[in-house]
Amino acid sequence: MNPGARRRIIAGVLTLDDIVIEPPAEGQIVDPQAWFASPGPFELEIGCGKGRFLLCRARSRPDVRLLGIEWASKFYRYAADRIRRWGVTNVRIMRTDAAVFVRRHLPAGCLSALHVYHPDPWPKKRHHKRRLIQAPFVEAALRATAPGGRWLLQTDHAEYFERMRELLDAQAGLREVPFDDPTFGPGEDWAGTNFEVKYAQEGRTIYRVAYARLP
């Protein structure tokens, strides 16, 4: 964050410079609370695409602090500009590989929620190793999640969903909780993600599951 950023955030006006967080340097552990004008529960969305969920969540839950990570520069730029135009002050965005970021740069216990909606399914067997939800990522994300922190996952890909569930159900540090928990959200104000809206229109089945980290 540049030196004038905090003053502008307090005044409620964010520039792209404030909204965009540069990927950390090799070996750096980030302090997510330092990106915001005031502290709050920190949530991460991986693969935020054009930012529909990120923005709706930020607007409906002004008490939370959100970071969206997006690898594709076209979507990342679109989402960053959308955050600026919406004028929400509790969202930041970063362009990086989220798997590396979670593994190497997040402090332990910093996450109160992890959102992963329609991660790339890599349907061919020889490409499965490129999937986000794999054992090393799960272990790193678990370390970064605070006790009681939630994971919300959603996909339209039945086989990937099955693999996710096998992996996550076997994790001693996680227990399944209702996805639609009104005390946490998404609840009635759930606007869906960009891909969810598109796939729902095509009549595809959407698979969802949520977990909480055990103390």
Ligand X SMILES: C[S@@+](CC[C@H](N)C(=O)[O-])C[C@H]1O[C@@H](n2cnc3c(N)ncnc32)[C@H](O)[C@@H]1O
Contact present, 57 and 43 (Cβ < 8 Å) = yes
Among 55, 64, 70, 83, binds ligand X (CB under 6 A): 70
Minimum CB distance to ligand X, residue 4 (Å): 28
Contact between 13 and ligand X by CB under 6 A: the answer reads no
Comparing CB distances to ligand X, the nearer of 54 and 88 is 54
For residues 36 and 77, what is the distance between their CA atoms, to the nearest angstrom?
A: 20
Output the CA torsion sign for 71, 75, 76, 79. negative
Segment contacting ligand X (CB under 6 A): 11-19, 158-166, 170-178, 188-196? 188-196
Contact between 196 and ligand X by CB under 6 A: the answer reads yes
Minimum CB distance to ligand X, residue 213 (Å): 21
Task: State the angle between helix axes of 135-144 and 98-105 in degrees (0 to 180), rounded to the nearest 10.
Answer: 50
Among 36, 151, 160, 195, binds ligand X (CB under 6 A): 195
State yes or no: is 97 an active-site residue: no
Contact present, 104 and 98 (Cβ < 8 Å) = no
For residues 147 and 187, what is the distance between their CA atoms, to the nearest angstrom?
A: 22
Contact between 69 and ligand X by CB under 6 A: the answer reads yes
Contact between 211 and ligand X by CB under 6 A: the answer reads no
Q: Which whole-number Å values give the CA distances from 100 to 29, 64, 112, in the listed order?
A: 12, 24, 19
Comparing CB distances to ligand X, the nearer of 9 and 99 is 99
Which run of H or of E encompasses 79? helix 73-86
Among 60, 134, 171, 194, binds ligand X (CB under 6 A): 194
As given in the structure block, the two tokens for residue 4 are 């004038």
Binding site for ligand X (CB under 6 A): 46-49, 69-72, 75, 97-99, 117-120, 132, 193-196
Catalytic residue ranges: 120
